[in-house]
Amino acid sequence: MLKERFSLLAGALAICLPSAAWAVPGQSTTANGNAFASVCAGNGFSGFGAPGDALNGGVSTSSGSGAFIQALNCATATSASPGAQAQAGNIVGGGSFNGNLYNNNALAIAAPGVIKLLANNAGSSATSFSGAGAQGGWNDTLTLNNAALTGQSGILIVPIHFDGTMTANGVGAMGRTELGIYVNHGVLQPYNNAVYAAAYSKFQTLNSAFNPVLHQNSVAEGSILFGWDYQMKPFGTSDYGVGDSLTVTQLNINETVRFAIPFIWGTAFQFGIYAATSAGEIASGGAVIQNVSSDQLQNTIYWDKGAYALAGDGSGSPLLNFTMTSGSGLDYSQAFVPEPASFAMFGAAAALLGWVRRRRTAGLSRP
């Protein structure tokens, strides 16, 4: 009997509001101006709750015995100083579950302005949800100043460019990626505040290509999850079976998502940009159906050029006469694209499962 797990596909359902007192490492505990990264790889992988929260609480686990052992290797990292890079991985999970082999790995690198993620999994439906996940992001403090508007509300438009490839080959393979934003350690929702509602509306308008009516049943199309009423963008792949609505075996991503942050002129606010990805399986059962999934997002998720501010409820034209300062000292009026050499180890990490993928793919077939 096939047992299905949709936690990777519907990770947004597990979103909760973080608080500064929460013990789980992640965006709520990362110092402003610093970056955070988290990875897990192994067997018994259940996906992620929210971008910015350490996968599996950042703790490696092992349970069971003999042929039925479930094991996750996990790691977390924060940058040593404001503006520095955080790196978690390259962490590897591999072994046998009841005689069925799995191999996976994950790597996450983040610095203020830039996120790079990689997750690979090669296994079968006869494992107990083998998979890998990676996430990263950064926190910072911003203050926008315009002498004539001090104390009034405004909306900052934040462009985040997303570039990468997601694949899922073999029935049951799947991947999930989410990109989200926090302000003062909370998700942006349109309730109990007119400016927050206006920012949410602006977010919808600026990303109207991701129409929630057209794409509400297709994660792979990348519809914005308006149903959960916060500013987040998902991407997904799945090879669940012939003719199934979830079957999207490859997704090439090259786009800019524009978030809308409400703020007060002259008042500092904290913000965080976080992304999370997972490569694994949507179903588990007795049948040995080999599958491979890979989320290669090392081409960069980064703060893009073209950030601008709007006065009041955002209905007017973009403002030109203002300054923007950050706690980290970074200039957020510019795009952040790192030198390729600074992330050189991604090449080796991406190739780690190359021999497994070639061997598995050669034998893939649909029932």
Beta strands in 57-129 (DSSP E): 61-63, 70-78, 86-97, 100-111, 114-124
Peptide bond just before 90 cis, omega within 30 deg: yes
Cβ atoms within 10 Å, residue 147:
10
Interior angle at CA 52, CA 273 and CA 22, nearest 5? 125
Q: Which two tokens stand for residue 146?
A: 């315009």
pLDDT of residue 359: 43
Per-residue pLDDT of the chain (367 residues; tens, 9 = 90+): 334 433 333 333 233 333 333 457 899 899 989 999 999 999 988 777 788 999 988 889 888 777 777 889 999 999 988 888 999 988 898 888 888 899 999 999 999 999 999 999 999 888 888 999 999 999 999 999 999 999 999 999 999 998 899 999 988 898 988 899 999 998 888 888 899 999 988 988 888 766 544 444 343 344 454 445 788 888 888 887 766 767 888 888 888 999 999 999 999 999 999 999 999 988 777 677 889 999 999 878 999 988 999 998 888 899 988 999 998 888 898 888 665 545 555 555 555 454 344 444 444 333 3
The pLDDT score that the predictor gives to residue 220 is: 39
Characterize the bridge pairing of strands 173-183 and 323-326: unpaired
For tokens 């002259």, name the residue: 266
The sign of the CA dihedral 301, 109, 136, 327 is negative
Q: What is the reported pLDDT for 347?
A: 54
Q: What is the pLDDT of residue 65?
A: 72
Q: Which two three-digit tokens encode residue 328?
A: 């980290």
Q: Measuring CA to CA, how many Å separate 64 from each of 238, 276, 338?
A: 29, 28, 43
Q: What span, in angstroms and rounded, lies between the C-alpha atoms of 321 and 341?
A: 36
Residue extents of the structural domains in the chain: 25-362
pLDDT at residue 1, as a whole number:
36
Per DSSP, 128 falls in state S
